[in-house]
Amino acid sequence: MSRLHASLRRGSTPACDGRTGEVRVPLTLYALDEAQDYPDLVMSRSEAEALFAHLRVALVPVPEQSTARPEVVR
């Protein structure tokens, strides 16, 4: 069994169907560095929103809370 990984397909962008809300993300599946297949990840709008929320949490660092008082600007 080969271990595959996915990347966004070069030159393609995700698309949303304005009528159904379905989101399609074009992918390329690789075994090591060799392309094996070109599937689309297809999600409902609610699935895409949930994925986006999880990615935001994972990718956007939470600002550190400072206990120091801000300096007064004169």
pLDDT tens digits, 35-52: 999 999 999 999 999 999
Whole-number pLDDT of residue 64: 72
pTM: 0.71
Residue 74, pLDDT above cutoff 80: no
Number of CB atoms found within 10 A of residue 51's CB: 14
Residue 71, pLDDT above cutoff 60: yes
Domain boundaries, the chain: 4-54
Burial letters 4-36, b for 16+ CB under 10 A, else e: eeeeebeeeeeeeeeeeeebbbbbbbbeeeeee
